[in-house]
Homo-oligomer: A and B are copies of this chain.
Amino acid sequence: MYSIGQVSKIFQLPISTIRYYDKEGLLPNLRKDNSNTRKFDEEAVEAIRVIECLKKSGTSIKGIKDFMTWCEEGPSTYGKRLELFEKQKKQVEDEIKELENTLNMIKFKCWYYDKAMEYGNEDFVEEIPEILPNEVRESYIKAHS
């Protein structure tokens, strides 16, 4: 059994955030002891892990709450739960692709300002396609088309 302070340390989440999740109904199975203190068993800790996973994948607090409600409702909601994770799977895959494009542009910008520092000016812009190494040229053209 963990206290809120321990859970806070495990997940590097502020205590206030965990209480907020509880208030929003994200931890329906959470128990309190006789002096009104939250007690986290393995299941409750797992719930936090799922919350973090869904959060990172872009699910809203309301969406996570819905999921937790489905979990309470038993086997009849397996379909909905699967659907949610499949939606989030696609969303994360798309997000990774987008970040990879962003990363290419940023790498180009790093190269660009590196050159600018070397030359003291940006006049080399005119010759970029020539100057650019092969493996970077392609993403440059993609980023600027």
Contacts and interface: CB of A to CB of B under 8 A. Distances in A.
Interface of A: 49-50, 53, 56-57, 75, 78-79, 81-82, 85-86, 88-89, 92-93, 95-96, 98-100, 102-103, 105-107, 109-110, 113-114, 116-117, 120-122, 143
Contact of A53 (B88, B89, B102): B102
Given A56-B102, A75-B120, A113 B96 contact: no
A64 to B, nearest CB: 13
Given A53-B102, A53-B105, A56-B99, A110 B93 contact: no
Contact of A81 (B102, B113, B120): B113
A103 B97 CA distance: 13
